[in-house]
């Protein structure tokens, strides 16, 4: 049943166990520097705004190279701008 709803939903769907509760400390959103997609960040920013919680965006550099770190930092900057644009949320970033 759940798979049918998810597969045919015209919007994003959050799936959680019955025992789950809404966030109480903050919202954490991952972003992949190799394939940055700010849709997840925008959705997380909206959730954070609606729940009046802080948003943290996290990315990991794939290896120890300076280029990988610069790419991850640039991706985080892009994601932080997306959060602000989508929901007016200022995000903390973690690398």
Closest by Cα among 77, 71, 75 to 91:
77
Dihedral pair phi/psi, residue 20, rounded to 5°: -65, 150
pLDDT tens across the length of the chain (95 residues): 788 888 898 988 888 888 988 889 999 999 999 888 889 999 999 999 999 999 999 998 777 788 888 999 999 999 999 999 999 999 999 98
- What 3-state class would DSSP assign to 48? helix
Q: Give the distance from CA 61 to its chain's centroid.
A: 16
DSSP designation for 19: T
CB 38 within 8 A of CB 31: yes
Whole-prediction pTM: 0.80
């Amino acid at each position: 049943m759940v798979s049918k709803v998810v597969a045919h939903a015209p919007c994003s769907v959050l799936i959680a166990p019955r025992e789950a509760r809404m966030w109480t400390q903050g919202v954490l959103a991952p972003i992949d520097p190799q394939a940055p997609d700010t849709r997840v960040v925008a959705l997380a920013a909206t959730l954070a705004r609606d729940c009046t919680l802080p948003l943290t965006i996290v990315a990991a550099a794939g290896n120890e190279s300076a280029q990988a770190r610069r790419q991850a930092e640039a991706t985080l900057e892009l994601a932080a701008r997306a959060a602000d644009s989508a929901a007016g949320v200022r995000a903390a970033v973690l690398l």
